[in-house]
Amino acid sequence: MLDTSSLKRGSLLVLNCGSSSVKFTAFRLAKAGEVAPLFSGQLSGIGTDARLSARSADGDVIANASWADRDTGGVPVLLPDLLAWIETHLPSDLPLLAAGHRVVHGGRNLHRPAIITDDVLVELENLIPLAPLHQPQSVAAIKVLKESRPDLPQAACFDTAFHHTQPLVCSTYAIPRHLSEAGVHRYGFHGLSYEYIARYLGETLPELAKGRVVVAHLGNGSSLCGLKGGVSFDSSMGFSVLEGVPMGTRCGSLDPGVIIYLMRKFEMTADELERLLYHQSGLLGISGVSNDMRVLEESDDPHCKLAVEIFCLRVAKEAASLACSIGGLDGMVFTAGIGENGTGIRARICAHLDWLGIRLDPARNAAGTGLVSSDASLPVRVVPTNEELMIALHTVDLLASQSIG
C-alpha cells in the first residue's frame, strides 16, 4: 500500500456499467489508504424504463424513483444526471476526488489498474472486439464522464488483470502459435472478485492463503479460479466470458465442433451465434424456464431439475480440474449470488467432491457464512465478494501514486 497521507479529504465513486444498468458505490477516504462506503445503488432499465434506486451504507432507501422521463438517449444522457445526483448526496465536506470503473478487458498490456489517459482510452477501445458485449459500456461511460467532468481523474480496474500471473501452460490454447501471439489466449475474468477473496484470505487466514485454494464465483456469470499462494494460477473462463461452467444464459464450455455444425447446418451467423451462446443458453437454455437458480430449485419441472444437476456437476468438475492445475487442494471458497446464498447448490456441488475430502456440515452450510465444512473435511468457506471495494482501493492507490509522482 502506498503512502496516502498526501491525499485530500474526499470521496470516490465506483462505477460498474452494463448494457442496461449502471451500478455505483460512493466511498469516503478513510485513514491509511482505506475506504468506507457512503451509499450505493443502480440505475437500471436504461433504454426502456430507467429507474434509480439507492441505499445508504446502513441500508436506508435514499432513492427509488423512475427516471424514464430523463431517459432520452441512454447512458450518454443519464450518466451526467446520475453524477449530479450522486454529488448532491455526498457530504459537503467530502468532494468527489476520482471515479473508478470496472472494465472487463485489459488485454495483454493493461495488467494492473490504470489512470485513464488518452492512450489508455485508445487501448480500451482497441480491446472492444475481445469483449464486444461488455467493453463498449465501460468505454462509453468513461467518455461521457471525461466530457462532462474533464478534471475528474478516472481509473480503470480490469477483470482480466488478476490472472496475469497464470503460467503459459494454463493460459495457452492448443491452436497454432501465431493465433496465440495475436491474442487468442486465456485471459480469465472475475479477477476483481478473486483479488478481493485472495486479499481477504491473506488478512484473515494467512496459512490457507499461502496454499492451494479453489474459489467458485457463482452468480449470473460464473467462473472458478485456482489460487496458489494467493495468486491466480488457472481459471475456468479463458478467452471470453463464455468458457467454463454453464451460467444463467451463457453456455459454458462447448465442443467447438458444435459451432461449426450450427454454421453449416443452420447457416447461423456470428450475431446469431452470439445471441444463442450468450443470451439463450446456460440454465435458461436447458430449463426453457428461467436463468434464476432460485426459480429452478423450486420447480418440479424435469428440465429445471436437469439444469440444476448439470450446473452442480460442471462446477464440481471444474473445481477438480483446477485442483489438478494447482497440484492439490487445501481449501475451497464459494462467493457471489449463488455461491453466497445457494445453500442447496453448495451441498450438491460438494457432494460431487466428497472423494477429494470435501464434506459440508449441514448446520454450518445452512447458516451460510464463514466455515461451512465439517471438522473432518478440507475447509470450505463462504466469503461475500466485494469487487467495488477492490476498485475503490486501487483508485486510492493510483491517486496517491499520482500525487507523489
Q: Which residue lies nearer to ligand ADP by CB, 171 or 236?
A: 236
Query: For residue 13, what is its C-alpha cell?
Result: 465513486
The three-state DSSP-derived secondary structure of 81-119 is HHHHHHHHHCCCCCCEEEEEEEECCCCCCCCCCEECCHH
**Annotated catalytic, 159?**
yes
53 binds ligand ADP (CB under 6 A): no
Q: In the set 284, 336, 350, 392, which binds ligand ADP (CB under 6 A)?
A: 336
219 binds ligand ADP (CB under 6 A): yes
| Contacts by residues 30-33 (CB-CB < 8 Å, ≥ 24 positions apart) | 32/1, 32/4, 33/1, 33/2, 33/4, 33/393, 33/396, 33/397, 33/400
CB of 208 to ligand ADP, least distance (A): 23
Q: Which residue lies nearer to ligand ADP by CB, 252 or 337?
A: 337
Instruction: Provide the mask over 279-298, with x wherever binding to ligand ADP is found by CB under 6 A and - wherever it is not.
Output: -------------xxx----
Query: For residue 105, what is its C-alpha cell?
Result: 478487458
Q: Which stretch binds ligand ADP (CB under 6 A): 3-11, 207-215, 334-342, 348-356?
A: 334-342
Q: Which of 3, 118, 119, 159 is catalytic?
A: 159
Sheet architecture: strand order including 231-235 = 231-235, 222-228, 212-218, 331-335, 380-382, 370-371
Q: Where are the alpha helices (DSSP H) in 173-231?
A: 177-181, 191-204, 206-209
CB of 334 to ligand ADP, least distance (A): 11
Binding footprint of ligand ADP, residue count (CB under 6 A): 13
Q: Where are the alpha helices (DSSP H) in 268-335?
A: 270-279, 282-287, 293-298, 302-325
Q: Which residue lies nearer to ligand ADP by CB, 341 or 402?
A: 341
* β-strand partners of 89: none
Q: Which residue lies nearer to ligand ADP by CB, 324 or 366?
A: 366
382 binds ligand ADP (CB under 6 A): no
Taking the C-alpha atoms of residue 52 and residue 45, their distance in angstroms, rounded to an integer, is 9
Q: Which residue lies nearer to ligand ADP by CB, 120 or 308?
A: 308
Which of 389, 396, 359, 364 has its CA nearest to residue 376?
Answer: 359
337 binds ligand ADP (CB under 6 A): yes
CB of 55 to ligand ADP, least distance (A): 15
Q: Which residue lies nearer to ligand ADP by CB, 96 or 351?
A: 351
Taking the C-alpha atoms of residue 76 and residue 162, their distance in angstroms, rounded to an integer, is 30
Which of 12, 183, 193, 168 has its CA nearest to residue 107?
Answer: 183
Please identify which residue in the block is written with the cell numbers 478487458. 105
Taking the C-alpha atoms of residue 365 and residue 387, their distance in angstroms, rounded to an integer, is 24
Instruction: Provide the mask over 68-97, with x wherever binding to ligand ADP is found by CB under 6 A and - wherever it is not.
Output: ------------------------------
Reported in sequence order, the residue ranges of 113-177 that DSSP labels E, i.e. its strands, are 114-115, 154-158
338 binds ligand ADP (CB under 6 A): yes
CB of 291 to ligand ADP, least distance (A): 6
Q: Which stretch binds ligand ADP (CB under 6 A): 70-78, 340-348, 356-364, 388-396?
A: 340-348
113 binds ligand ADP (CB under 6 A): no
Q: In the set 342, 346, 371, 393, which binds ligand ADP (CB under 6 A)?
A: 342
CB of 343 to ligand ADP, least distance (A): 7
Q: Which residue lies nearer to ligand ADP by CB, 211 or 244?
A: 244
Instruction: Provide the mask over 241-260, with x wherever binding to ligand ADP is found by CB under 6 A and - wherever it is not.
Output: -------x------------
Q: Which stretch binds ligand ADP (CB under 6 A): 39-47, 97-105, 197-205, 217-225?
A: 217-225
- If one counts every other C-beta atom within 10 angstroms of the C-beta of residue 91, the result is 11
Taking the C-alpha atoms of residue 341 and residue 350, their distance in angstroms, rounded to an integer, is 15
Q: Which residues form the interface with ligand ADP (CB under 6 A)?
A: 219-221, 248, 292-294, 336-338, 341-342, 345
Which residues are annotated as catalytic? 159
